[in-house]
Amino acid sequence: MSSNKSGQITVVGANMIDLIAYVPRFLNVGETLHGTEFQMGYGGKGANQAVMAAKLGSKVVMVTKIGEDVFGSGTRENLEKYGIDTTFVLSTSKAFSGVAPIAVVPEGQNEIVIVSGANNLLTTSEIDAVRDQIAKSAYLVCQLEIDLALTLHALRVARSVGTPTILNPAPAVESLPPEIYELTDIFCPNETETAILTGLKIDSVASAEIAAHELLSRGVKTVLITLGENGCLIVNSEGAIHIPADKVKVVDTTGAGDAFVGALAHFLALGLTLKNAATRAVKVASISVQGKGTQSSFPERSAIPAEILAT
């Protein structure tokens, strides 16, 4: 799959401030636990994916809403630092910027709470104002971290102007409107999200493929399931392709899925095949889990092996 448009990527999604606590284990109900380290970083699935694509060299337009607070101004500056177009990073006084408290255990797994705040005050008319940017983009990238109606509207706009879409259905919900599947060209959940959406247990590549076919039956063109240390699985009408991941020492998996999606969009926008783009995105995500934090763990171009970047 490739796009005949420019290499630009438009991302409609959330921005968050990640409040990351490193803890010896996950908490029990009512428990207070001493953490070992704290970090604050810029996150939100939309912003993360935009940053990863921009770090790789894509021209990225971010569409989101921030609060008129220190977190919001910091978010705008952070996006601009990576060269992201913030024309459509809008602000409001009616809510605080979004935050995401995160607990990370020594094995690298995490638990995340998201409070969307200003993100959900984005409006459909504000998305309509980005129509021309979406029209000239190689891909539109969306997630489910802002109000579902807004994501659905963005996908409709992309379809109306002929721009291919990538939907990362996270955080997952058990039921999605049928239209959202039909408007998605590449549906990119992880194992947990796939299980929630299909009701099927995902414990192997084979079971992931069964679940992928269920998603295809709902109208998606291509399903791309990320499988953590097992890489990813591409399933469409042409068949199934499993792309394994390199074995690495995992430090923190926070944001790895976003690193994958942002990298996938970048390589697809360059015109690479889906298999080639996904193979490279797996390698980029594998680099990200070897560092702490979210955007801070996303590799710069200079830290990525040349063969991954070559076109």
User: DSSP letter string over 113-147?
Assistant: --B-GGGGG--HHHHHTTHHHHHT-SEEEEESSS-
| Of 18, 85, 252, 258, catalytic | 258
Token digits for 244? 């394994």
* Residue 286 confidence (pLDDT): 93
The DSSP bridge partners found for residue 222 are 186, 236
User: Which domains are assigned to the chain?
Assistant: 9-27+36-309 (3.40.1190.20)
pLDDT at 2 over 60: no
For the beta carbon of residue 113, count every other beta carbon within 10 angstroms: 10
pLDDT at 226 over 50: yes
Q: How far apart are CA 25 and CA 109, in angstroms?
A: 10
Give per-residue pLDDT as tens, 11-57: 999 999 988 899 999 999 999 999 999 988 899 999 999 999 999 99
pLDDT at 1 over 70: no
Token digits for 49? 């994916």
DSSP count for the chain of H helices, then E strands: 11, 13
Token digits for 126? 């504000």
Task: Pick 262 or 251 by higher pLDDT.
Answer: 262
* Residue 108 confidence (pLDDT): 86
In order of 90, 135, 269, the CA distances from 160 in angstroms are: 24, 9, 19
The DSSP bridge partners found for residue 141 are 11, 166
* Residue 3 confidence (pLDDT): 52
Give per-residue pLDDT as tens, 158-183: 999 999 999 999 999 989 999 999 99
Give per-residue pLDDT as tens, 53-103: 999 999 999 999 999 999 999 999 999 999 999 999 999 999 999 998 999
Is 258 annotated in the active site? yes
DSSP state of 85: B
Token digits for 197? 């959406």
pLDDT at 4 over 90: no
* Residue 311 confidence (pLDDT): 79
Over range 297-305, report the average pLDDT: 91
